[in-house]
């Protein structure tokens, strides 16, 4: 503990990590924080159900979601249970034709395929009617999920750490984490060798980072061990994807997983078929792996192109028609349903207010929204739930289906809500700089940048530390690339000069960069590596 600087100790304390043993566990290369799977409600009964199904050679279907968490969850159990039985299939619904979660048509299709046990991952907690149908058709049902239970609970075995009666010490596992705990329970009860289980940790790390659950406590343990397996290249399909997108598996960081690997898995479900990603995670044949990797990369390129075009069109429409709105609700027939959420997020960032994109879906319309700090999107929608056929989400994101005629009523209601919130708090949508701590230019060193890596892996609830450099003068600004990035020197209040880089938002901050007036900068202390040499740089994310 002697080598830890005061800055690191202060940052850890702000994240609730204090005391020698807690700090040691948090910074450990091989953290030990993990819990008995049998503390999860219904897990033991679920383990017994699966083991009996395996013994009796019953056909099992693993039913998962089409995002990266669902894809990795399906892959974990396909691989693990596949070592015990060949009576195993999986089903991932289409984002476009079926939507999220269990649906009646899928349940009927699965039954017609001779399935006797339906096992969900990353979905199903509130699929009451669909589970009743499965039971009527004679299937046994086991739900594994991690979403909040906001509606009538499915009446079957339900393994979910967010159940109100759950005594499991950690409630923030991703869907793939819950699937892994089920596998762990089966491994323990059946006396299987541990390597059969632990080889899945790379998929747990990938799904956990992708689903933006808190990278604390048991998630941190699972991710750290999983990233080490990922770096070893044990899974040929994942190693091929890492290489295919020009990353180095030995130096893989959580942000490269979040913004590099995860979007390629998600792109399969957004642009085509999520099963392509599952096949890649399970494939052993080298030629087939290259083919599937190429398919995922093509899906992601297509996703990026469509997303950028859609974003530009939405910005034009907003600037022409609704720029004065406090809550942006934009109906568009031009935005591909698979990327609506990403575009809504970019609009929220640009206009610094909540944004919902609404797209046609058969006889109805679908909405996908993203929100800003201080505006709880789920609660806002809940106050108008009579307008929706289906809706769900959380504080920062939402999704809904509704009749087209009711959209105007929703738009006006949300605008009134925002106006009322702004009357109560006029500063609500004002941009404010937030940082973990203020530092001087003298403290921006390569040693600090390297020490901060001890806090990795970074993600939800454990973000890369943000620092404030107050009242800095910007000199030598230079645009980079297509002009959306910039680099400059910041002369800090203590006279020290810091090299700064601003990615993606240079056009948003042109006034601050070129005004010649002192600015407050927030960002991360990082390092740039070139031919084995490292140098420190300050990655700016905001300025006023």
pLDDT in tens, 203-252: 999 999 999 999 999 999 999 999 999 999 999 999 999 999 999 999 99
For residue 1, pLDDT over 70 is answered with no
pLDDT at 508: 85
Residue 85: name the closest of 118, 58, 113, 45 by CA: 58
pLDDT at 226: 97
* Residue pLDDT, tens place only, 464-488: 999 999 999 999 999 998 989 999 9
* Residue pLDDT, tens place only, 484-534: 999 999 999 999 999 999 998 898 899 999 989 999 999 999 998 888 889
pLDDT band at 2 (very low <50, low <70, confident <90, very high): low
pTM over 0.85: yes
Q: Can you tell me the mean pLDDT for 338-357?
A: 93
Q: Are 42 and 166 in contact (CB under 8 A)?
A: no
CA distance 489 to 497: 6
Instruction: Tell me the percentage of the chain whose pLDDT exceeds 90.
Output: 86
Q: Are 158 and 41 in contact (CB under 8 A)?
A: yes
For residue 425, pLDDT over 70 is answered with yes
Residue 469: name the closest of 448, 444, 487 by CA: 444
CA distance 396 to 374: 9
Residue 358: name the closest of 403, 300, 418 by CA: 403
By CB atoms closer than 10 A (0-12, 13-18, 19+), residue 254 is buried
Mean pLDDT of the chain: 94
For residue 431, pLDDT over 80 is answered with no
CA distance 108 to 119: 15
pLDDT band at 91 (very low <50, low <70, confident <90, very high): very high
Q: Are 531 and 444 in contact (CB under 8 A)?
A: no
State whether residue 167 is helix, strand or coil. coil
pLDDT band at 361 (very low <50, low <70, confident <90, very high): confident
pLDDT at 107: 97
* Residue pLDDT, tens place only, 138-167: 999 999 999 988 789 999 999 999 999 999
Kindly list the strands in the beta sheet with 157-159, ordered across the sheet, starting from the edge strand earlier in the chain. 88-91, 60-64, 117-121, 140-144, 157-159
Residue 109: name the closest of 127, 90, 124, 123 by CA: 90
pLDDT at 167: 97
Task: Write the CB contacts of 218 (distance below 8 Å, at least 6 apart in sequence).
Answer: 33, 34, 35, 170, 173, 177
CA distance 326 to 351: 9
CA distance 125 to 118: 13
For residue 3, pLDDT over 80 is answered with no
CA distance 143 to 128: 11
């Amino acid at each position: 503990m002697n080598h830890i600087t005061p800055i690191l100790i202060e940052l850890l304390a702000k994240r609730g990590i204090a005391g020698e043993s807690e700090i040691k566990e948090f910074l450990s290369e091989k953290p030990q924080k993990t819990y008995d799977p049998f503390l999860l409600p219904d897990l033991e009964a679920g383990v017994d159900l699966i083991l009996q199904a395996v013994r009796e050679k019953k056909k099992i279907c693993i039913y998962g979601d089409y995002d990266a968490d669902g894809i990795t969850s399906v892959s974990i159990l396909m691989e693990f249970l596949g070592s015990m039985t060949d009576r195993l299939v999986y089903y991932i619904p289409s984002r476009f034709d079926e939507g999220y979660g269990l649906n009646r048509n899928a349940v009927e299709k699965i039954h017609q395929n001779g399935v006797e046990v339906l096992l969900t991952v990353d979905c199903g907690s509130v699929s009451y009617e669909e589970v009743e149908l499965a039971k009527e058709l004679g299937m046994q049902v086991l739900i594994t999920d991690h979403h909040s239970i906001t509606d009538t609970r499915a009446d079957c075995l339900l393994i979910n750490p967010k159940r109100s009666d759950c005594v499991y010490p950690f409630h923030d596992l991703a869907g793939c984490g819950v699937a892994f705990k089920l596998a762990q329970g089966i491994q323990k009860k059946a006396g299987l060798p541990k390597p059969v289980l632990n080889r899945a940790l790379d998929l747990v790390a990938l799904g956990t980072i992708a689903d933006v659950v808190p990278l604390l406590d048991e998630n941190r343990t699972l991710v750290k061990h999983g990233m080490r397996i990922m770096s070893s290249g044990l899974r040929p399909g994942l190693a091929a994807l890492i290489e295919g997108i020009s990353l180095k598996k030995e130096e893989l960081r959580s942000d490269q997983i979040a913004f590099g690997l995860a979007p390629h898995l998600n792109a399969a479900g957004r642009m085509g078929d999520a099963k392509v990603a599952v096949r890649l995670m399970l494939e052993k044949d080298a030629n087939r792996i290259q083919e599937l990797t190429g398919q995922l990369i093509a899906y992601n390129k297509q996703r990026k192109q469509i997303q950028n075009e859609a974003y530009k069109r939405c910005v034009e429409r907003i600037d022409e028609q609704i720029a004065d709105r406090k809550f942006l609700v934009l109906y568009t027939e031009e935005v591909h349903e698979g990327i609506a959420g990403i575009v809504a997020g970019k609009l929220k960032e640009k206009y610094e207010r909540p944004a919902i994109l609404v797209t046609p879906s058969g006889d109805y319309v679908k909405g996908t929204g993203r929100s800003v700090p201080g505006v709880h999107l789920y609660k806002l929608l809940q106050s108008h739930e009579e307008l929706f056929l289906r809706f769900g989400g959380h504080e920062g994101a939402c999704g809904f289906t509704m009749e087209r005629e009711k959209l105007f009523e929703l738009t006006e209601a949300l605008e009134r809500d925002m106006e009322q919130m702004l009357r109560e708090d006029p500063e609500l949508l004002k941009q404010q700089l937030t940082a973990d701590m203020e530092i001087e230019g003298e403290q921006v060193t390569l040693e600090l940048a390297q020490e901060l890596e001890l806090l990795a892996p970074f993600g939800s609830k454990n973000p890369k530390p943000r620092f404030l450099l107050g009242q800095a003068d910007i000199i030598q600004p230079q645009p980079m690339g297509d002009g959306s990035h910039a680099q400059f020197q910041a002369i800090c209040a203590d006279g020290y000069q810091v090299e700064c880089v601003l990615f993606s938002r240079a056009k948003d901050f042109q006034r601050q960069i070129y005004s010649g007036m002192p600015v407050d900068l927030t960002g991360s202390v990082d390092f740039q590596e070139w031919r084995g040499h490292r140098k420190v740089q300050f990655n700016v994310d905001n300025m006023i």
